């Protein structure tokens, strides 16, 4: 491109400013990205590699795993051989193994070509060691193997050198035998061993569809329940393996798993950075959490509640006020960002506490965060001996009443000091309250 000719690029230099907000989001996180063999062969693959280059430019560390299902099937067809297994889940006989080695070499080469074209350094290593699966339910798995050990130091050193490790599903054992390993499982094990924050499966399917309904977001518990209650046709057969591996990765500390269509232009970046995404994201249950606010949260609380104050939904609190009363605040945190907050105010001697400043960032509204914050407040107030929790609101009556189950009250239900404050404030807020019982334990997902 000649200097100054921007007509062949849809991006204007000024657009680059917008990228800044993405820079800190996942800086230094490790993402393990697993591509099905058919995705490497798809015409969108070069675009996917460009997306990977964008991730790298944002300092996200990437490890790539690939499958070989399609290439193995095609190779077997060409050779007129009936493969003993395609996905590394059943026994791999010697003939299938020979084809699998060829398929793996081919896919790996295609990936290296695309990565080279995108200006990314990559390395194929023997950092993951396999061992024979042995005999399972009476069946000799022959050349099918499982991950024995991950040399995380080797992989992390490569990543530190700006090299993208490329891991194929044909691994070597300690004795130097090649073994066929299922690539979904391989990705999950790598993500676990490397402490990755995401494992991302790029598939030829538009994410998980449970009973015909596409799922954008599933909690680990919800996915476990779907798998346990599996009736035929509940989840697409080929996505079952990915779902099980996603569960396994999340159970072992990986925060999120994504299953999405790798054939869509910009799909990978959309899934990661768009608020809605396009595939299915499975999140660990301990990921969204409510905790007591700390001093350093005061500014974030002040910032996020500003919008509510502007719309007269919340009473204005200065930063100093929040700092001084930080112990009364609790926050809902996702990915180290505070996305919601609330505070509890005590009225000693009145047996009552007030929940206030309940605020959820607009994008996260309607996802149960507000209800959980109020539930958490109820539990915390009951624990501190309060018999009643009340709330004053001008614009969220329906939320406190309909969603949180609070009852209509009058200013007479308030502790005297608060009643006077209400009168003096002139906000004409509605009063709601809830009786608390210390025995009642509500499940709060923290
Ligand atoms: C009110 C607020 C805290 C609710 O949080 P949230 O995370 O969106 O709420 P949840 O997801 O737990 O509950 C969603 C339900 O509450 C309802 N809801 C949310 N805000 C509401 C409001 N102002 N009035 C009536 N209902 C409301 C939604 O319609 C939804 O109902 P549904 O379950 O029947 O679909 C949030 O919308 C917010 O921060 N609003 C701005 C600040 C504010 O008004 N705070 C209250 C003053 S103390």
Residue nearest to atom 14 of ligand 1 (CA): 366
Residue 106 alpha carbon to ligand 1 centre in Å? 53
Atom of ligand 1 nearest to the CA of 360: 39
* Dihedral (Cα; 280, 283, 289, 294), 10-degree rounding: -90
Is 150 within a domain? Answer: yes
Task: Sort strands 352-360 and 145-150 into parallel, antiparallel or unpaired.
Answer: unpaired
Looking at the predicted structure, is the pLDDT value of residue 374 above 60? yes
Tell whether ligand 1 has an atom less than 6 A from the beta carbon of residue 368.
yes
Which residues span the domain enclosing 28?
13-283
Residue 414 alpha carbon to ligand 1 centre in Å? 23
Is 3 within a domain? Answer: no
Residue 164 alpha carbon to ligand 1 centre in Å? 44
Residue 444 alpha carbon to ligand 1 centre in Å? 18
In degrees and rounded to multiples of 5, residue 136 shows phi and psi of -120, 125
Tell whether ligand 1 has an atom less than 6 A from the beta carbon of residue 429.
no
Co-location of 349 and 242 in the same domain: no
Residue 418 alpha carbon to ligand 1 centre in Å? 24
Residue 322 alpha carbon to ligand 1 centre in Å? 22
Among candidates 125, 120, 101, which has minimal Cα distance to 46? Answer: 120
Residue nearest to atom 28 of ligand 1 (CA): 366
Domain total in the chain: 2
Is 441 within a domain? Answer: no
Among candidates 346, 396, 351, which has minimal Cα distance to 371? Answer: 396
Structure confidence at residue 311 as a pLDDT band (50, 70, 90) = confident
Looking at the predicted structure, is the pLDDT value of residue 78 above 70? yes
Question: pLDDT tens digits, residue range 15-51?
Answer: 777 777 677 678 889 999 999 999 999 999 999 999 9
Tell whether ligand 1 has an atom less than 6 A from the beta carbon of residue 390.
no
Co-location of 240 and 331 in the same domain: no
Residue 155 alpha carbon to ligand 1 centre in Å? 45
CATH number at residue 297: 3.40.630.30
Q: Per DSSP, which regions of 48-185 are E strands?
A: 61-66, 121-124, 128-132, 135-136, 139-140, 145-150, 163-167, 170-172, 178-180
Residue 370 alpha carbon to ligand 1 centre in Å? 6
Mean pLDDT for the stretch of residues 179-189: 98
Is 321 within a domain? Answer: yes
SS3 126: coil
Structure confidence at residue 3 as a pLDDT band (50, 70, 90) = very low
Atom of ligand 1 nearest to the CA of 314: 47
Co-location of 310 and 325 in the same domain: yes
CA 48 to mean position of chain CA atoms = 19
Residue 265: count of CB within 10 angstroms of its CB: 13
How far is it, in rounded angstroms, from Cα 134 to Cα 137? 10
Co-location of 276 and 322 in the same domain: no
Tell whether ligand 1 has an atom less than 6 A from the beta carbon of residue 369.
yes
Residue 91 alpha carbon to ligand 1 centre in Å? 53
Quick one: 355 exposed, middle or buried, by C-beta within 10 A (0-12, 13-18, 19+)?
buried
Co-location of 172 and 23 in the same domain: yes
SS3 255: coil
pLDDT > 90: percent of the chain: 69
Co-location of 313 and 173 in the same domain: no
Q: What's the pLDDT score for residue 283?
A: 85
Q: What's the pLDDT score for residue 446?
A: 23
Q: What's the pLDDT score for residue 189?
A: 97
Domain boundary residue, one of 283, 314, 339: 283
Residue 403 alpha carbon to ligand 1 centre in Å? 8
Structure confidence at residue 243 as a pLDDT band (50, 70, 90) = very high
Co-location of 72 and 37 in the same domain: yes
Quick one: 254 exposed, middle or buried, by C-beta within 10 A (0-12, 13-18, 19+)?
buried
Among candidates 373, 360, 365, which has minimal Cα distance to 304? Answer: 360
- The structure's pTM equals 0.62
Residue 117: count of CB within 10 angstroms of its CB: 12
Tell whether ligand 1 has an atom less than 6 A from the beta carbon of residue 393.
yes
Atom of ligand 1 nearest to the CA of 398: 25
User: Which of the 8 DSSP states describes residue 400?
Assistant: I
Is 4 within a domain? Answer: no
Domain boundary residue, one of 231, 250, 283: 283
Residue nearest to atom 34 of ligand 1 (CA): 403
Co-location of 278 and 374 in the same domain: no
Tell whether ligand 1 has an atom less than 6 A from the beta carbon of residue 406.
no
User: Which of the 8 DSSP states describes residue 219?
Assistant: E
Q: What's the pLDDT score for residue 233?
A: 58
User: Which of the 8 DSSP states describes residue 339?
Assistant: E
Tell whether ligand 1 has an atom less than 6 A from the beta carbon of residue 307.
no
Mean pLDDT for the stretch of residues 118-135: 97
Co-location of 95 and 214 in the same domain: yes
Co-location of 183 and 306 in the same domain: no
Q: What's the pLDDT score for residue 240?
A: 92
Co-location of 139 and 47 in the same domain: yes
Question: pLDDT tens digits, residue range 132-157?
Answer: 999 999 999 999 999 999 999 999 99
What is the rounded average pLDDT for all residues in the chain?
A: 90
Q: What's the pLDDT score for residue 183?
A: 98
Residue nearest to atom 23 of ligand 1 (CA): 396
CATH number at residue 42: 3.40.1160.10
Residue 371 alpha carbon to ligand 1 centre in Å? 8
Atom of ligand 1 nearest to the CA of 394: 47
Q: What's the pLDDT score for residue 285?
A: 59
Ligand 1 site-directed mutation target among 357, 368, 396, 402, most atoms within 8 Å of CB: 396
Looking at the predicted structure, is the pLDDT value of residue 437 above 50? yes
Atom of ligand 1 nearest to the CA of 396: 23
Alpha-carbon distances, residue 52 vs 67, 249, 264, 275, 293 (angstroms): 17, 21, 14, 19, 36
Is 446 within a domain? Answer: no
Q: What's the pLDDT score for residue 8?
A: 55
Co-location of 31 and 153 in the same domain: yes
Residue nearest to atom 42 of ligand 1 (CA): 359
Tell whether ligand 1 has an atom less than 6 A from the beta carbon of residue 142.
no
Is 143 within a domain? Answer: yes
Q: What's the pLDDT score for residue 7?
A: 47
Tokens read off for 146: 């499982």
Q: What's the pLDDT score for residue 21?
A: 67
Residue 312 alpha carbon to ligand 1 centre in Å? 15
Domain boundary residue, one of 283, 313, 342: 283
């Amino acid at each position: 491109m000649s200097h100054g000719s921007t007509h062949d690029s849809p991006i204007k230099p000024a657009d680059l400013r917008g990228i800044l907000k993405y820079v800190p989001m996942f800086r230094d996180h490790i993402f393990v990205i697993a591509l099905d063999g058919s995705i490497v062969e798809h015409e969108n693959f070069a675009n996917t590699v460009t997306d990977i280059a964008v991730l790298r430019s944002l300092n996200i560390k990437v490890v790539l795993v690939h499958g070989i299902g399609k290439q193995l099937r095609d190779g077997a067809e060409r050779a007129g051989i009936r493969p003993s297994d395609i996905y590394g889940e059943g026994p791999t006989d010697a003939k299938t193994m020979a084809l699998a080695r060829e398929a793996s070499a081919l896919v790996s080469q295609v990936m290296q070509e695309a990565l080279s074209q995108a200006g990314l350094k990559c390395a194929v290593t023997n950092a993951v060691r396999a061992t024979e699966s042995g005999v399972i339910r009476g069946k000799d798995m022959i050349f099918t193997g499982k991950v024995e050990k991950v040399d995380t130091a080797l992989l992390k050193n490569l990543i530190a050198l700006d090299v993208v490790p490329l891991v194929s599903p044909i691994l070597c054992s300690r004795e130097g035998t090649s073994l066929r390993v299922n690539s979904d499982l391989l990705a999950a094990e790598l993500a676990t061993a490397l402490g990755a924050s995401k494992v991302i499966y790029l598939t030829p399917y538009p994410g998980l569809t449970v009973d015909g309904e596409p799922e954008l977001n599933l909690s680990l518990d919800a996915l476990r329940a779907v798998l346990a209650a599996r009736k035929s046709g509940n989840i697409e057969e080929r996505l079952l393996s990915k779902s099980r591996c996603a569960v396994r990765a999340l159970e072992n500390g990986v925060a999120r798993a994504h299953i999405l269509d790798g054939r869509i232009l910009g799909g990978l970046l959309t899934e990661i950075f768009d608020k809605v995404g396009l595939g299915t994201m499975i999140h660990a249950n301990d990921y969204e959490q409510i905790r007591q606010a700390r001093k350093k949260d005061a500014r974030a609380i002040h910032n996020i509640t500003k919008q509510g104050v502007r719309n007269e939904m919340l009473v204005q609190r200065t930063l100093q006020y929040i700092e001084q009363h930080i112990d009364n605040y609790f926050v809902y945190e996702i990915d180290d960002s505070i996305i919601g907050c609330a505070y509890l105010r005590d009225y000693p001697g009145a047996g009552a506490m007030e929940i206030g400043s309940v605020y959820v960032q607009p994008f996260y509204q309607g996802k149960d965060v507000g209800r959980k914050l109020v539930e958490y407040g109820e539990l915390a107030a009951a624990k501190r001996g309060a018999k009643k929790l009340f709330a004053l609101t001008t614009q969220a009556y329906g939320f406190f009443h309909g969603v949180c189950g609070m009852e209509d009250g009058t200013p007479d239900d308030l502790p005297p000091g608060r009643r006077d404050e209400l009168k003096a404030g002139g906000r004409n807020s509605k009063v709601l309250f809830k009786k608390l019982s210390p025995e009642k334990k509500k499940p709060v997902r923290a």
